[in-house]
Structure 1
Amino acid sequence: METLPTGISVLDREFGGGLPSGSVVVLTADPASQSELIIDRLSRVRECRYLTTVRSPEAVEDGLTRDTGSTGDEEEGVVVSAVDEADPIEDALAVADGLPERGTLVVDSVGPFEAGDRNSYRAFLNGVRRRVVDAGGIAVLHALKGKTDGRNRTVTEQIADIVFDLRTTVTGTEIANRLIVPKFRGGAALEEPLKLKLTDSVTVDTSRDIA
Structure 2
Amino acid sequence: MSRLATGIDVLDRQLGGGIPAGSIVLLAADPASQSELFLHELTTTRGTLWLTTIRSEQAVTDALERNPGPTGSPTVRDVGGDAPLDTASSLVRDLPEGANLVIDVVDVLERSEGARYRKFLNDLQTHMVNTRGLTVLHGLKGETVPDNRDLTEHMADVVFDLDTKIDGSEIVNRLAVPKFRGGRALDETIKLRLAERVTVDTSRDIA
Is TM > 0.5 for Structure 1 vs Structure 2?
Answer: yes
My pick for the range that moved more, 97-106 or 168-177, is: 97-106
1:150 aligned partner: 146
Tell me, yes or no, if the aligned pair for 2:52 and 2:80 is still in contact at 8 Å: no
1:101 aligned partner: 97
1:40 aligned partner: 40
Tell me, yes or no, if the aligned pair for 1:48 and 1:99 is still in contact at 8 Å: no
- The question of 1:133 aligning with 2:133 is answered no
Q: Secondary structure at the match of 2:17?
A: coil
1:162 alignment partner AA: V
Write the distance in 1 (CA, Å) between the matches of 2:205 and 2:58. 39
Write the distance in 1 (CA, Å) between the matches of 2:143 and 2:83. 27
Q: Offset at 1:99?
A: 1.5
Normalising by structure 1, report the TM-score: 0.95
1:121 aligned partner: 117
- The question of 1:57 aligning with 2:64 is answered no
Q: Percent identity?
A: 51
Q: Deviations over 1:16-38 (max 9, x none)?
A: 11110000000000000000111
Write the distance in 2 (CA, Å) between the matches of 1:175 and 1:84. 31
1:171 alignment partner AA: D
1:81 aligned partner: 77
- The question of 1:90 aligning with 2:95 is answered no
Count of residues paired in the alignment: 207
Q: Offset at 1:84?
A: 5.2
Write the distance in 2 (CA, Å) between the matches of 1:78 and 1:134. 21
Q: Which of 182, 188, 193 is 1:192 aligned to?
A: 188
Q: Deviations over 1:23-69 (max 9, x none)?
A: 00000000000001111111231000100001111111111112221
Q: Deviations over 1:115-169 (max 9, x none)?
A: 1211111111111111211211001000001113111110000000000000001
1:159 aligned partner: 155
Q: Offset at 1:98?
A: 2.2
Runs of at least 5 residues in structure 2 that lack an aligned partner in the other structure: none
Q: Secondary structure at the match of 2:43?
A: helix
2:10 aligned partner: 10
Write the distance in 1 (CA, Å) between the matches of 2:32 and 2:196. 16
Tell me, yes or no, if the aligned pair for 2:29 and 2:140 is still in contact at 8 Å: yes
RMSD across aligned positions (CA): 1.1
Runs of at least 5 residues in structure 1 that lack an aligned partner in the other structure: none
Off by >6 Å, runs of 4+ in structure 1: none
2:38 alignment partner AA: I
Tell me, yes or no, if the aligned pair for 1:47 and 1:100 is still in contact at 8 Å: no
